[in-house]
């Protein structure tokens, strides 16, 4: 979940409140921001769910608090000045990253804290909506360092979003003194190496030019020439990405934050070859919410004034629509990226009203409860085994090939129990867990291996899950429940395991036969097929000394495993 | 008079004129003291013996004390070494004495601090002198006496040794007996030994001989040999408990695949395909099987449309790419909500008409790092209620009821965000023992973008919670790996408290 670092004094100043830290923490908890601790610099850290990305910086958190305190009400859109600058989009822009947007910001006065906050917002937006810059990346530049090219007859300055040869233009990236090509940045610059994967497959790399040359290599790094400092008074914000809506919303969130610090937002024209957009996109979306639905979802009656008050305290303007049924037209500001459906606005009403105020009630509908037959059967088998003295174990379903096959002397595909083809994990992290177990006996033998220091006898059982590939099923995997047991003690023998099977067979009133078989995990001549009601169901026998020694066991182990469903 | 043989022997061995201790009687009779004690109390009850008790203080050597009996006291060893180096004539370097003495670690400090105290000599600026002719050491002598179980009379030496932790003092009760007048009379009239029997035999019962015998008394307080039986796994017991509660609340149990398509696991849940939780960093994507090619076509179209266009007049979709290829990919389920999707869609057991309540307590898989509170596989409790017109109040009422069954009576609902529910709430409660506020579940009302494609036209509220979390809460277990998996400690399972 995202975490935002907040200087409490800045928060008080931007919110216009005198409330102390503890009070602020309580109020923010009510808004869904949970206090996590302090940074080394004394900033307060809050964690929140990734829906309200407008709260990724102190400015947005302050805005939410102002609404919460009733200092502000209703939907707000910052004023914008008419466009002077243009972003020209060239045909050479890489197909993989075709979209760009931006804004000009004037009259900003950032101190160190303000600049940190802006950088934090940028990085957190990258991490969330920007999908680690893959979907959207923000570049912020000192406007006074840009020299616009003049493209239009009216003579407004412009910059160009274009595609360049990776080994072509040279520029000095941030945190560097060397002139590097984009390809060199990806190899030599730490930030370049970090984000190289995003563009390395592109034929042409994205780049933004002014008259003086390349000043931004999105989504990787900006040029040093236009670096923003506390002395910067005018900014150029540009965003590139794989989705216009996403970068427009990220842009809007950045503009709202800067506007809250007193900056003036100025529009920018984005000229694609086939269309022109005016950005930032501060368009207000309108959604209609029915009064009945609000009452139904929150489970209580409201008068329309209360509903409208709640909307306004949530930062939304609402007008009541009179008709056959009461409804509201709600204006959703551009930074509210989480609102997809009227139900999201009902949630806002609930939060503003206070969900704590909704008294719990048990739903007045009656249904009949029941266990699933499969789990009842599992439990019955487990209970019988426990009655026979087995310790019931619960093992991981994930295992690796060595444990599942080799250490039990089984060769995959050889047609014995356990030799089935496994469902395998793609790019596993851990070499211990690379596949789903095809049988449960290896898990039990591992438990014995890990407990050689504990007292014997150790009689362990598991009624559990195993799976193997099978094209004839819906998912391509045959999942089954399996009954497995091991008896480890100084005089354990085949007969002990067979005795348990006989007891199980008796309890479940099934017919048990144990014709001799060969299975590599067991000693030849001391292994049998478990045949239940005429169907082959598993195997029983004395475990092969090689398997015992492999698992550091110094005493005989008798074991069995068979399909649970044969007991039905 | 008839008495059991031990009782008869004890009565005869006791005297009417002299106190005799139980230890002494036991020694004389060749019986265990506890056997004699049993007989003495029985005889006292009969009025044949008087028993008197005396509290006696005894001393015994500590482990350290025993070591010094064998090796000599550290200060004594230092002194003897010092004499070997003629420190009684001229001071020698302390380092040299210590090195030669073989004293190590804390023994050095002990030796030095007692050396001067006992007047063995002086220690000054790193040099050590010795006073000649100190052959005796009271403390060493006392230790030797205690080791030989001989009495030590000098209390001050004992105090010193106690302070040095070389001896431990303990209180014990010594019981002595004398024969009462009644006992004397009985002895004079003659005691007949009754036959005692250790074990009931079929013969005793069938012949009726059991009426004439006395049963040997057991020490019923003594520990018996350990019995190790089998037991249902503690997590299974917790699951049973949860299932009981839910069935009692009218919930029916679901069942379904562990290996499933992304479609059922994520897409049906309205998780955008570029959601961070859908990367292989969080979920287990499978190499084999590769894909599921029999997804229900109509449902697939409706889900795609919900992702791209949203649902309803004022609905919007995600601005994220959506491809069928991703939806067909295979995973180990990261939550059992895939089962809820299969049931709600009608795929599992046919179309469902409201009202319905369903649950499962089944395994889910997350690509996490194993640590004391995280496993790659764990059990998720999943439940949902489907009905016309459910509200947040119904949700709060249902979960309040559920958690109260586990002693959590102050359930708190913190507004939250999930891609698949709105409103959503994280559930918090105070740990019944530690009082700590902990997250114990996640809940909400399924979004229209989830329900409409599934063809559900009423409300559905749902919640999820890790069973292990509940189990740790109930059992107080601190490392989840003790509970679950092949690293399980059999001893832990054998000793785990039962859950009911």
Could you write out the DSSP letters of every residue in B20-68? EEHHHHHHHHT--HHHHHHHHHHHHHHTSEEEEEEEEEEEEE-HHHHHH
Q: How far apart are CA A87 and CA A269, in angstroms?
A: 6
Q: Is residue B482 over pLDDT 80?
A: no
Interface check B400 vs A, CB under 8 A? yes
Average pLDDT, chain A: 95
Contact B393 A51 (CB under 8 A): no
Number of domains in chain A: 4
For B490, name the nearest residue in chain A, comparing CA atoms only.
A451
Of the pLDDT bands very low, low, confident and very high (cuts 50, 70, 90), residue A153 is low
**Burial classification of residue B144, based on how many CB atoms lie within 10 Å of its CB (0-12 exposed, 13-18 middle, 19 or more buried):** middle
Taking chain B, what is the end-to-end CA distance rounded to the nearest angstrom? 54
Contact B252 A393 (CB under 8 A): no
C-alpha distances (whole Å) from B378 to each of A437, A458, B344, B359 are 16, 25, 24, 16
- Which among B229, B230, B246, B381 is the top mutation candidate for probing chain A, defined by the most A β-carbons within 10 Å of its own β-carbon? B230
Q: Pick from B231, B274, B400: which is nearest to A131 by CB? A: B274
Indicate whether A181 and A195 sit together in one domain: yes
Query: Residue B281: what pLDDT?
Result: 67
A366 part of a folded domain? no
Neighbours of A382 (CB within 10 A): 23
Per-residue HEC secondary structure of A128-144 comes to CCCCCCCCEEEEEEEHH
Give the pLDDT mean for B383-394: 96
Give Cα A542 distance to the centre of its chain. 47
How close B219 comes to chain A (CA, Å)? 27
A367 part of a folded domain? no
- Which among A35, A127, A247, A426 is the top mutation candidate for probing chain B, defined by the most B β-carbons within 10 Å of its own β-carbon? A426
Q: Pick from B235, B250, B393: which is nearest to A299 by CB? A: B393
Indicate whether A347 and A378 sit together in one domain: no
Interface check B163 vs A, CB under 8 A? no
Give the pLDDT mean for B141-168: 85
- pLDDT tens per residue across span B57-77: 778 888 888 888 888 888 888
Give Cα B201 distance to the centre of its chain. 41
Domain B2-56+170-215, what architecture?
Answer: Orthogonal Bundle (1.10)
- pLDDT tens per residue across span B200-229: 889 889 988 888 777 877 888 888 888 888
A365 part of a folded domain? no
CATH number of B63-154: 1.10.10
Binding site membership of B: which residues? 337, 380-382, 420, 422, 446
Buried b (16+ CB within 10 A) or exposed e, B343-367: bbbebbeeebebbbbbbbbbbbbbb
Strands, sheet with B49-61, edge to edge from the N-terminal-most edge strand: B20-21, B167-179, B49-61
Contact B416 A368 (CB under 8 A): no
Q: Is residue B406 over pLDDT 90?
A: no
- pLDDT tens per residue across span A195-217: 999 999 999 999 999 999 999 99
Average pLDDT, chain B: 88
The residue ranges of every structural domain in chain B are: 2-56+170-215, 63-154, 236-495
Indicate whether A193 and A289 sit together in one domain: no
Residue A193 belongs to domain spanning: 80-279
Contact A54, A65 (CB under 8 A): no
Give one DSSP letter per residue of B449-497, joined into a string: HHHHHHT--SEEEEEEEEHHHHHHHHH--S-HHHHSSTT--HHHHHHPP
Contact B259 A479 (CB under 8 A): yes
Query: Residue B197: what pLDDT?
Result: 79
Interface check B391 vs A, CB under 8 A? yes
Is there a common fold for B2-56+170-215 and B236-495?
no
Indicate whether A124 and A261 sit together in one domain: yes
Of the pLDDT bands very low, low, confident and very high (cuts 50, 70, 90), residue A90 is very high
Interface check B299 vs A, CB under 8 A? no
Contact A561, A441 (CB under 8 A): yes
DSSP state of B263: I
Nearest in space to B213 (alpha carbons), one of B233, B234, B199 = B199
Q: Read off the tokens for A92.
A: 């050479």
Contact A231, A114 (CB under 8 A): no
Query: Residue A151: what pLDDT?
Result: 61
Q: How far apart are CA A393 and CA A410, in angstroms?
A: 23
C-alpha distances (whole Å) from B197 to each of A19, B11, B31, B34, B214 are 85, 20, 17, 19, 6
Query: Residue B252: what pLDDT?
Result: 98
Contact A527, A539 (CB under 8 A): yes
Residues 6+ apart with CB under 8 A from A179: A170, A171, A172
Given CA atoms A160, A166, A172, A175 in this order, what sign does their dihedral have? positive
Q: Read off the tokens for B422.
A: 């709105």
Q: How far apart are CA A217 and CA A195, in angstroms?
A: 11
Indicate whether A380 and A398 sit together in one domain: yes
Of the pLDDT bands very low, low, confident and very high (cuts 50, 70, 90), residue A55 is very high
Residues 6+ apart with CB under 8 A from B238: B467, B470, B471, B474, B475, B499
Indicate whether A442 and A313 sit together in one domain: no
For B415, name the nearest residue in chain A, comparing CA atoms only.
A32
**Burial classification of residue B288, based on how many CB atoms lie within 10 Å of its CB (0-12 exposed, 13-18 middle, 19 or more buried):** middle
Q: Pick from B286, B312, B423: which is nearest to A423 by CB? A: B286
**Helix or strand (DSSP H, E) at A449:** helix A441-449
Indicate whether A199 and A103 sit together in one domain: yes
Contact B392 A131 (CB under 8 A): no
Beta bridge partners of A37: A45
Of the pLDDT bands very low, low, confident and very high (cuts 50, 70, 90), residue B8 is confident
Last residue of a domain, one of A264, A279, A294: A279
Last residue of a domain, one of A21, A40, A69: A69
Nearest in space to A334 (alpha carbons), one of A31, A23, A78 = A78
A364 part of a folded domain? no
Site of tokens 């329900």? B451
- Which among B240, B245, B261, B319 is the top mutation candidate for probing chain A, defined by the most A β-carbons within 10 Å of its own β-carbon? B319
Return phi, psi of residue B337, to 5°. Answer: -65, -20
Which position has the higher pLDDT, B97 or A471? A471
A75 part of a folded domain? no
Indicate whether A439 and A303 sit together in one domain: no
How close A336 comes to chain B (CA, Å)? 13
Last residue of a domain, one of A44, A69, A94: A69
Contact B230, A459 (CB under 8 A): yes
Q: Pick from A298, A344, A367: which is nearest to B355 by CB? A: A367
C-alpha distances (whole Å) from B190 to each of A176, A518, B29, B36, B399 are 113, 76, 19, 20, 78
Interface check B422 vs A, CB under 8 A? yes
**Helix or strand (DSSP H, E) at A561:** strand A557-563
| Chain A / chain B CB contacts < 8 angstroms | 270
- The CATH number of domain B236-495, selected from 3.40.50.10800, 1.20.120.420, 3.40.50.720, 3.30.930.10: 3.30.930.10
Indicate whether A49 and A180 sit together in one domain: no
Q: Pick from B243, B393, B490: which is nearest to A360 by CB? A: B393
Contact B243 A371 (CB under 8 A): yes
Share of chain A above pLDDT 70, in %: 99
Give the pLDDT mean for A269-294: 96
- A-facing residues of B in 166-185 (CB < 8 A) are none
How close B347 comes to chain A (CA, Å)? 12
Contact A222, A244 (CB under 8 A): no
A363 part of a folded domain? no
Query: Residue A175: what pLDDT?
Result: 93
Neighbours of B163 (CB within 10 A): 9
Contact B387, B461 (CB under 8 A): no
Indicate whether A98 and A201 sit together in one domain: yes
Query: Residue A445: what pLDDT?
Result: 97
Residues in chain B with CB shorter than 8 Å from the CB of A344 are: 422
Indicate whether A295 and A350 sit together in one domain: yes
Q: How far apart are CA B6 and CA A135, in angstroms?
A: 93
Q: Pick from A351, A396, A477: which is nearest to B376 by CB? A: A396
Interface check B288 vs A, CB under 8 A? yes
| CATH number assigned to the domain comprising residue A35 | 3.30.56.10
Contact B258 A135 (CB under 8 A): no
Contact A347 B422 (CB under 8 A): yes
How close A295 comes to chain B (CA, Å)? 8
Site of tokens 């009687």? B25
Give Cα B104 distance to the centre of its chain. 38
Contact A369 B486 (CB under 8 A): no
Contact A131 B415 (CB under 8 A): no
Indicate whether A127 and A211 sit together in one domain: yes
Contact A367 B445 (CB under 8 A): no
């Amino acid at each position: 979940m995202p975490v935002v670092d907040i200087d409490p004094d800045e928060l008080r100043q931007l919110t216009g409140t005198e409330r102390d830290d503890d009070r602020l923490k309580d109020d923010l908890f009510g808004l869904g921001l949970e206090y996590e601790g302090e940074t080394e610099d004394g900033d307060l850290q809050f964690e929140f769910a990734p829906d309200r990305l407008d709260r990724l910086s102190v400015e947005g958190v302050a805005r939410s608090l102002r609404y919460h305190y009733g200092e502000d009400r209703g939907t707000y859109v910052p004023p914008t000045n008419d466009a002077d600058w243009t972003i020209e989009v060239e045909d050479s822009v890489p197909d993989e990253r075709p979209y760009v947007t931006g804004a000009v910001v004037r009259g900003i006065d950032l101190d160190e804290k303000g600049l940190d906050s802006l950088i934090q917002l940028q990085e957190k937006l990258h991490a969330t909506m920007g999908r680690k810059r893959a979907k959207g990346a923000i570049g912020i530049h000192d406007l006074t360092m840009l020299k616009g090219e003049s493209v239009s007859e009216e003579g407004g300055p412009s910059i160009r979003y274009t595609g360049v040869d990776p080994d072509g233009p040279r520029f000095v990236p941030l945190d560097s003194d060397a002139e590097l090509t984009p390809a060199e940045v990806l190899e030599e610059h730490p930030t370049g190496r970090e984000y190289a994967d995003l563009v390395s497959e592109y034929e042409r790399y994205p780049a933004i030019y002014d008259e003086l040359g390349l000043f931004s290599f999105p989504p990787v790094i900006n040029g040093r020439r236009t670096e923003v400092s506390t002395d910067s008074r005018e900014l150029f914000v540009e965003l590139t990405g794989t989705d216009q809506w996403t970068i427009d919303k990220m842009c809007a969130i950045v503009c709202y934050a800067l506007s809250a610090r007193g900056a003036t937002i100025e529009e920018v024209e984005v000229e694609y070859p086939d269309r022109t957009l005016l950005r930032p996109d501060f368009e207000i979306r309108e959604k209609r919410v029915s009064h009945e639905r609000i009452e139904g979802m929150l489970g209580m009656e409201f008068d329309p004034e209360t509903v409208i008050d709640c909307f306004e305290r949530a930062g939304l303007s609402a007008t009541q629509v009179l008709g056959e049924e009461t409804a509201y037209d709600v204006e959703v500001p551009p930074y509210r990226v989480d609102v997809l459906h009227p139900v999201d606005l009902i949630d806002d009403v609930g939060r503003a009203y206070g969900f704590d105020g909704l008294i719990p009630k048990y739903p007045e509908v009656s249904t009949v409860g029941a266990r699933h037959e499969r789990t009842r059967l599992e439990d019955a088998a487990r209970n019988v085994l426990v009655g026979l003295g087995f310790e019931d174990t619960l093992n991981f379903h994930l295992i690796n090939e060595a444990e599942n096959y080799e250490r039990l002397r089984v060769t995959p595909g050889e047609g014995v129990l356990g030799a089935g083809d496994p469902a395998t994990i793609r790019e596993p992290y851990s070499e211990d867990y690379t596949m789903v177990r095809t049988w449960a006996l290896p898990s039990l033998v591992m438990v014995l291996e890990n407990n050689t220091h504990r007292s014997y006898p150790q009689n362990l059982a598991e009624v559990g899950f195993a799976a193997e590939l099978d094209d004839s099923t819906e998912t391509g995997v045959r999942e089954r429940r399996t009954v497995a047991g091991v008896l480890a003690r100084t005089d354990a023998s085949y007969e002990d395991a067979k005795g348990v099977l006989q007891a199980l067979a008796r309890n479940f009133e099934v017919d048990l036969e144990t014709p001799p078989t060969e299975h590599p995990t067991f000693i030849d001549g001391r292994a049998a097929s478990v045949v239940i009601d005429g169907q082959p169901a598993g195997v029983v026998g004395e475990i092969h000394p090689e398997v015992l020694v492999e698992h550091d066991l110094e005493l005989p182990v008798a074991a069995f495993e068979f399909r649970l469903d044969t007991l039905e | 008079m008839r008495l059991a043989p031990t009782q008869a022997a004890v009565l005869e061995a006791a005297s009417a004129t002299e106190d005799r201790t139980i230890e002494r009687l036991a020694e004389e009779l060749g019986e265990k003291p506890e056997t004699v004690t049993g007989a003495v109390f029985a005889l006292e009850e009969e009025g044949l013996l008087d028993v008197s008790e005396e509290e006696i203080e005894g001393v015994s050597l500590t482990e350290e004390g025993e070591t010094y009996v064998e090796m000599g006291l550290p200060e004594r060893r230092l002194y003897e070494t010092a004499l070997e180096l003629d420190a009684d004539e001229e001071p020698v370097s302390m380092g040299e004495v210590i090195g030669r003495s073989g004293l190590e670690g804390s023994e050095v400090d002990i030796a030095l601090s007692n050396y001067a105290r006992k007047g063995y000599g002086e220690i000054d600026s790193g040099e050590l002198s010795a006073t000649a002719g100190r052959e005796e050491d009271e403390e060493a002598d006392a230790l030797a006496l205690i080791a030989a179980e001989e009495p030590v009379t000098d209390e001050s030496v004992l105090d010193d040794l106690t302070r040095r932790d070389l001896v431990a003092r303990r209180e014990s009760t010594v019981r002595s007996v004398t024969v009462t007048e009644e006992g004397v009379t009985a002895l004079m009239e003659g005691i007949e030994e009754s036959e005692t029997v250790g074990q009931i035999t079929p013969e005793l019962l069938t012949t009726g001989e059991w009426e004439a015998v006395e049963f040997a008394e057991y020490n019923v307080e003594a520990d018996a040999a350990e019995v190790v039986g089998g037991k249902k796994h503690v997590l299974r017991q917790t699951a049973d408990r949860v299932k009981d509660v839910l069935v009692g609340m009218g919930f029916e149990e679901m069942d379904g695949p562990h290996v499933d398509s992304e479609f059922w696991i994520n897409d049906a849940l309205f998780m955008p395909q570029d959601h961070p939780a859908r990367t292989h960093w969080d979920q287990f994507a499978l190499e084999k099987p590769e894909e599921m090619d029999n997804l229900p076509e109509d449902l697939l179209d409706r889900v795609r449309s919900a992702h791209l266009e949203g649902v309803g007049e004022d609905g919007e979709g995600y601005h994220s790419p959506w491809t069928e290829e991703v939806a067909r990919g295979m995973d180990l389920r990261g939550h059992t909500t895939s089962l809820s999707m299969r049931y709600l869609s009608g795929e599992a057991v046919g179309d469902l008409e409201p009202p319905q309540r369903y649950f499962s307590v089944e395994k889910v898989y997350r690509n996490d790092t194993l640590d004391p509170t995280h496993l790659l596989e764990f059990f998720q409790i999943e439940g949902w209620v489907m009905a016309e017109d459910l509200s947040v109040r119904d949700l709060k009422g249902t979960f309040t009821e559920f958690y109260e069954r586990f002693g959590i009576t102050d359930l708190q609902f913190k507004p939250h965000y999930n891609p698949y529910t709105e409103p959503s709430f994280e559930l918090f409660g105070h740990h019944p023992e530690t009082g700590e506020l902990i997250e114990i579940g996640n809940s909400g009302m399924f979004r229209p973008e989830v329900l409409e494609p599934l063809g559900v036209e009423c409300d559905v509220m749902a919640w999820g919670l890790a069973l292990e979390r509940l189990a740790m809460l109930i059992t107080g277990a601190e490392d989840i790996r003790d509970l679950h998996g092949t690293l399980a400690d059999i001893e832990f399972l054998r000793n785990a408290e039962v859950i009911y």
